[in-house]
Amino acid sequence: MTEYTPNLLLNGRFLTRQMTGVDRVAAELSVALSDALAERGGGGLRLALPAGGVPDGISGSDAAERLLALPKPENLFGWGYTWEQASLLAAAPDDWLVNLCNMGPVLRRKQVTMIHDAQIYTQPQAYSRAFRSVYRTLLPRVGARSAVILTVSEYSRRELEQFGVVPPGKATVVRNGIDHIHRIAADETTLDRLQIKKGGYFLALGSMAPHKNIPMLAEVARSLGPDAPPLVIAGGGNPKVFKDAGIHESEKVRVLGRVTDGELKALYQGAFALVFPSKSEGFGLPPLEAMANSCPTIVTTGGAVPEVCGDASIYAAPDDPRAWRNAMEALVANPPKRDALIHAGQSARRSLPGSVPRKSLLRP
């Protein structure tokens, strides 16, 4: 019997903005999906983009570049939510539409939608009033209407059901993978160029979004003893945003702003440990990326992070600064513990699933 291979249309709106973690997942899943279709023969993946295409200056990964080379349907007019809800709704009605960044046309049934988390409900302070209004109106309708719903963790599945975004039992968990980190070449000039000592800093990633909890971590870093490494914060765009929020550079805190993939990999490899204090995460890729680069991790008990990191991390509650200070200072004082965490992280990430369980995504 010939195996069914569908024709798929990818919602490529995520390619028109600066890449975040959710966008990274979408790009990697899409490339894996395209490869899986090619292996099967028949069927195929096309890319739907808003009429304006991809703006100049948008940085992308190698996966994003591959996606932009896919065939594209014509005459998809509009931009933003209007394009997604109207033009994309009517596009290629015989194809399965694939939405990997939370949102799709609310009236289309023949679609697969990945909803990463319920943070619009659990962390409302992280979003503007207009954004909250749009998502709280559209997201439950997408969850009810889409024929297939995916999410990234059991934690997210439970949250989506609790807030009525997805009917109970409908969502399938497809956990994120970290295949991309192995394709990235570390920028070996990074530490010298930034005048950072290898093994001599705690690394934090994130933005000033309230649920990322970076101000708390900066306060903890300033309170650490003299033998503790300083905190280096990477990501989040313009460092001025951190300064405006009261996070000023000092001997204990360094703010780098946005970094390239190669710079980030070098920062992972050179860090004493990654500290990841988010109040909530639907998954949490950075600790796994760190583990893949032999970087120990101290992580939050919030959201899906314990589900993702298992026994390979030290944990601290996101609302307990003393616990973070104790964990960071204890790791400095215990080199064998750091070595054990590196080993545990490497063992844990070898047991992770790949970027995409191909059969589950190809099933109609």
Residue pLDDT tens, the chain, 364 long: 455 567 899 999 999 888 888 898 999 999 999 988 888 876 689 999 988 777 765 656 788 888 988 888 876 787 888 899 999 999 989 999 999 999 999 999 999 999 999 999 998 988 889 999 999 999 999 999 999 999 999 999 999 999 999 999 999 999 988 888 888 999 999 999 999 999 999 999 978 888 899 999 999 999 999 889 999 999 876 655 555 566 777 899 999 988 999 999 999 999 999 999 999 999 999 999 999 999 999 999 999 999 999 999 999 999 999 999 999 999 999 999 999 999 999 876 555 543 333 333 333 3
Whether the Cβ atoms of residue 146 and residue 166 lie closer than 8 Å to each other: no
Return the CA Rg of the chain: 21
Domain ranges of the chain: 7-180+353-362, 187-350
Q: DSSP states of 152-165 as a string? A: S-HHHHHHHHHTTS
> Which residues on neighbouring strands pair with residue 46, listed in sequence order?
9
Predicted local confidence at residue 357, as pLDDT: 33
Q: And the tokens for 133? A: 């209004």
Predicted local confidence at residue 236, as pLDDT: 74
Predicted local confidence at residue 59, as pLDDT: 54
Q: Which of 115, 150, 157, 114 is nearest to 136 (CA)?
A: 115
Predicted local confidence at residue 63, as pLDDT: 84
Candidates 3.40.30, 3.40.50, 3.40.640, 3.30.450; correct CATH number of 7-180+353-362?
Answer: 3.40.50
Residue with tokens 């292996």: 39
Q: Which of 87, 147, 114 is nearest to 24 (CA)?
A: 114
Q: Which residues contact 60 (CB under 8 A, 6 or more apart)?
A: 15, 19, 27, 54, 68
- Answer yes or no: pTM beyond 0.85: yes
Q: Which fold has domain 187-350?
A: Rossmann fold (3.40.50)
Distance, C-alpha 40 to centroid of its chain: 29
Q: Which residues contact 89 (CB under 8 A, 6 or more apart)?
A: 105, 107, 108
Report how far residue 292's alpha carbon sits from residue 232's, in angstroms, rounded to the nearest whole number.
19
Predicted local confidence at residue 358, as pLDDT: 32
Provide the sign of the torsion angle of the four alpha carbons 120, 121, 123, 124, taken in this order: positive
Predicted local confidence at residue 242, as pLDDT: 56
Predicted local confidence at residue 359, as pLDDT: 35
Same fold, 7-180+353-362 and 187-350: yes
